[in-house]
Amino acid sequence: MARSNKIWFRKDTGWWMVTVGGVKTRLTQGKENRKQAEQKFHELAAVRARVPEAPSARVADVVEAFPAWSKIHGSDDTNRNYIWYGQKFSEEIGYLLTMELKPIHVTPWVDAHG
Using 50, 70 and 90 to split pLDDT, how confident is the model at 103?
Answer: very high
pLDDT of residue 2: 56
47-56 LR contacts (CB < 8 Å, sep 24+)? 48/20, 48/21, 52/98, 55/99, 56/97
Q: Which residue has the higher pLDDT, 59 or 2?
A: 59
Give how far Cα 58 sits from Cα of 31, 74, 111, Å: 33, 24, 22
Using 50, 70 and 90 to split pLDDT, how confident is the model at 4?
Answer: low
Give how far Cα 64 sits from Cα of 28, 29, 69, 102, Å: 30, 33, 10, 19
End-to-end CA distance of the chain: 46
Percent of the chain surpassing pLDDT 70: 91
